Amino acid sequence: MTWKRTSTILTLIVILGTVVPAAATTRAPAPTVVETLDRAAHPLRTVEPGGDTRDLRPLDRMIADAEVVGVGEATHSSHDFFALKDRLFRHLVEKKGFRTFALEAPWSTGLRLDDYVVYGKGDPRRIMREEFQRDYLWWNNTDYLRLVEWMREYNIRHPADPVRFVGDDTAWTGPEVYDEVVARVAAADPASGERLNGLYRGLRPTVPTGTYIESYLGKPYAERREMAERTGEALELVRRTGADGGTVQDATAIDRTARQYAFDFEEPGQIAEAMRYRDQAMAANVLWWQRHTGTKVLLSAHDAHVGYESYDPAYPKMQGAFLRDGLGAAYVNIGLTFDRGSFNATDQDETAVRRWTVGPAAPGSNERTLDRVRYRDYAVDLRTVGSPARTWLRQARPTYRIGTAYPDGPHDVALARTHDILVHLHRVTAARLRER
C-alpha cells in the first residue's frame, strides 16, 4: 500500500468515523415465549421408574431443600402421571433423603398401607380394593400397586431407615382407627374408654368404604352436625387423658371425617366452606406427619390441591396455599400438564367409568404453547424463567384440570402463580384400573 493511499484512508476515517459492519448495528429480535421456554426447559428421558435418573438432576436443583414437595396431576387417572410420581419418589429417596409418600387418600387408608410397607402386614391388593372405593377408586391402579410393592422391597433392604406411606384426606376413617383409639384410652383409664365408646356409637363403620361415604352423605344435616359434636367431644376427652400424640392424631382424623360432612350441602356458601375445610385438614395432616416423623415428603394430589391459587370459587383456598403458610419456602409444588391423550373418569352423571381421549390442546390454551417447546417431555422452573415467558406464565388461560368426572373444563389457570415448577408431557394414556 502506497503512502498516498494510506493517507486517503486515514482522512476518510477522520471524516466519517470508524466504519462498523452493518450486521453489528442491527438489534437482534426479542425472544418469543416459546424460545424463552426452550432455553429454560430440561428434557425428561422417560416417565417410567427405574434406570438412569440423571435427567432428574435439574429437578433436584429446583426442589433444593424443600421438606414437602407436592406433585400434581392434570387428570385423576392417567398412567403417565402416576408413573412419573413413582419414578420421582424413588429418585428422591435415593438422592435427596425423602422417606414418605403422601397420597390424597384417607388417613386410615394410609395407616393400613404404611403397616404393609414397613412391617409387611396385610395384602396390598386387598387393602387397595377395600380402601380405594367411590371417590378414591382411581388409586386402585397397577401403577400405585407397583409403587407400594417397591416401597416394601426397599424397606426389606433398609429396615433401619424405612420409607413410609401416609394418607391425608378426610372422607373416611376406618373401623380399626376407632378400635385403636378406644383401646389405648381404656388401657390407661377404663372409665374414659367406656365414655369414648358411647360417643363413637353409630360412627364406627360397619359397611364397605364406598357404602359408608354414600350413606353418610345421605344423612340429614342436623344428624351430621350432631355426629360432629360427638367426635369433637371425644377428641377433647382423648386429649384430657394425656394420650400420646399418635392417639390424639387418630382421634383428630375421626373428628375431621365427621366435620367434613357437617356442612349444609344445599347451600353454595356452605359447599365452599366444606371444600376449604377439606384442603386445610389435608394440609394439617401432612404437616403433622412431617413434623412427627421428621421425614421429607412427596405429596401426590390433583394439580389444584398442590397449587397455590384456585380456579374455582367452590374451592376458596387450596392445600398448597395452606402448606406454604405452614412451611414457607420448605414447601415446593410441581404442576403437571399434557397436550393430548387419555384418562379414566365417570360421565357427569357419575353412573359409569369411561376412558376419555382429548387433544391436541386448543388454540389459546396454556398447553398449546407449552407443547411447541423443542422437547417432547420436560421440566421448567417457573420461578426463574426469563421474559417474555415470565409474563405469559402469570396470565390465566384455558388449561386441562380434569377431576373425577368429565366433561370438566378447561379452566383458566395462571401457571406461574399456581405452581413453582412445571412438568409438561406431550401425550398421556389412561391408567389401568384394578378390579373393583
Each residue's pLDDT tens digit, 39-81: 999 999 999 999 999 999 999 999 999 999 999 999 999 999 9
Residue 12: is its pLDDT beyond 60?
Answer: no
Summarised one tens digit per residue, pLDDT across range 321-343 is 999 999 999 999 999 999 999 99
Residue type at 325 in one-letter notation: D
Q: At what angle do helices 245-260 and 221-240 cross, to 10 degrees?
A: 170
Residue 11: is its pLDDT beyond 50?
Answer: no
Written in H, E and C, the secondary structure of 299-337 is EECCHHHHCCCCCCCCCCCCHHHHHHHHHHHHEEEEEEE
Q: How confident is the model at residue 264 (pLDDT cuts 50, 70, 90)?
A: very high
Pairing assessment for the beta strands 68-71 and 331-346 based on DSSP bridges: parallel
Contact 430, 342 (CB under 8 A): yes
Q: What is the pLDDT of residue 436?
A: 62
- Single pTM value for the model: 0.93
Over residues 200-205, mean pLDDT: 95
Q: How confident is the model at residue 160 (pLDDT cuts 50, 70, 90)?
A: very high
Grid coordinates in use for 418? 399456581
Q: What angle do CA 221, 226, 229 make, to 5 degrees?
A: 130
Summarised one tens digit per residue, pLDDT across range 172-186 is 999 999 999 999 999
Rounded to an integer, what distance in angstroms lies between the CA atom of residue 281 and that of residue 286?
9
Contact 132, 105 (CB under 8 A): yes
Over residues 34-39, mean pLDDT: 98
